[in-house]
Every structure is written in C-alpha cells, then in structure tokens.
C-alpha cells in the first residue's frame, strides 16, 4: 500500500525575532521504514507588500510509529521571520511530500502565518 497523509499540523515552537522555529507534524497511514517526509516553506509572502522570498527546508527531528500510523516531526528555522498581523499578513507556504522508494507518492500544500503570542 502507498503511504497516505492523514494530518498535517504546524506549531510555533520558538518565537524569537532573531530566529523563529516551527514544528510540522505529518501523520501518515501505512508508512514503512523506507517512508520519508520532506518539504520546505517559502516566504515571507504578503498581499500587501513586495518581499524577497527564501526557501527554508523542513528537517526531520523525530519519527513516532504506533499500530496504524506514523508521525514525522519536522523542524524549520526561519531567521528574522516576518510575523503575521492584520496590517502585515505575512505567510510562509510550501509543499510537504511523502516519499517511498525514491519517489514522491503524495504532496500537500501548507501555509502558515507566524502569530506572536499576546502578553
């Protein structure tokens, strides 16, 4: 069976104006030991501003498997990230891919606005 993406969740892991870190959790059904999760985020993008976009790779942190699914924990570090606000709605977008036997078997687009915590 071909591995299928069940869920993708993006979490603000560390919010720092100098270096922001996000975690991307990709849950896959029917993964084998050879299944890989890869991807990237590109940005910042905004409908209200012209930007220079940079591609940031998603790197594997951990892989957790139970009876029916595997969750890949991926990490991306964005130096001097542009955070989302209503006035400046910056987002980071890109693909998450599932690879099996050297081939992409599924791809999903993700988008994330980094919102600073309210104090």
Count structural domains, the chain.
Answer: 1
Predicted confidence (pLDDT) per residue in 81-113, tens digit: 999 999 999 999 999 999 999 999 999 999 999
In this structure, is residue 117 part of a structural domain?
no
In this structure, is residue 98 part of a structural domain?
yes
In this structure, is residue 79 part of a structural domain?
yes
Rounded Cα–Cα distance for residues 20 and 95 (Å) = 19
Q: Quick one: the chain helix, strand, coil %, rounded to 5?
A: 0, 60, 40
Beta bridge partners of 73: 25, 62
The pLDDT assigned to 118 comes to 52
Q: Is the distance from CB of 3 to CB of 105 less than 8 angstroms?
A: yes
In this structure, is residue 73 part of a structural domain?
yes
Enclosing domain of residue 36:
4-112
| DSSP element (H, E) containing 60 | strand 59-65
The yes-or-no verdict on residue 119 having pLDDT over 50 is: no
CATH code (residue 48): 2.60.40.10
In this structure, is residue 26 part of a structural domain?
yes
């Amino acid at each position: 069976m071909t591995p299928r993406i069940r869920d993708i969740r993006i979490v603000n892991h560390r919010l720092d104006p100098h270096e922001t870190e996000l975690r991307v959790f990709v849950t896959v059904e029917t993964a084998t030991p050879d299944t890989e999760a890869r991807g990237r985020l590109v940005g910042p993008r905004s409908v209200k501003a012209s930007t220079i976009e940079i591609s940031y790779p998603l790197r594997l942190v951990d892989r957790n498997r139970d009876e029916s699914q595997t969750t890949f924990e991926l990490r991306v570090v964005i130096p001097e990230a542009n955070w989302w606000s209503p006035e400046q709605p910056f987002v980071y977008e890109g693909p998450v891919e599932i690879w099996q036997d050297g081939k992409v078997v599924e791809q999903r687009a993700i988008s994330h606005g980094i919102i600073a915590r309210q104090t």
